[in-house]
Structure 1
């Protein structure tokens, strides 16, 4: 089930990033924004913080907002939103999916050892 959910979320992000003339960046890839429909298909929701990157541009600058632990560090320090913003968020989402832990706890509890965290999850 987890593999299917992760693939469906990855497919949704790929669609947002490639299907339109402007790239849609979700910006806040937290687990509570992923819902399962009646067939168990993962659906990405809550686009209120999303931004559009114009065609031909690599980034836009935006207000820094989102959920700590799931925010791309580059975005947090520069305010620049790129596709990598969602890629980082997806990685944090995957970490939560595999371990049932908030990514911000990794350094505190596992001294930054992702492998140990996943093995214990």
Structure 2
């Protein structure tokens, strides 16, 4: 681990998504990390908002019918087009016994889409726990 690396827990709850989330975005030189606040949407609302985009990809819309995907909206004017990295982490912060603990909630594949002013889709980590455990052996 480097001084920029912090251990994190994995969000295991499939039925709940934290209301306050941030996207971790590595800096250009990989030494600085940006924390960008985002808010989750219910998939049916997200699907409606994204359907208004004429450049919307059919495959991306289809993901919103699956429970292992979720939808996020940027709070302060960012878009998925602002990311250069292939994947960014969606995290929640919880205070447990006076200790602040980061939880990885999901992963956004920023190469999958660049949609201005629309919510973006992320993969929920809770649905991949079995695969993670199997591949950590």
TM-score, with structure 2 as normaliser: 0.28
Q: Which has the higher contact order (CA 8 A, sep 6+)?
A: 2
- The structure richer in strand per residue is 2
Larger helix share, 1 or 2: 1
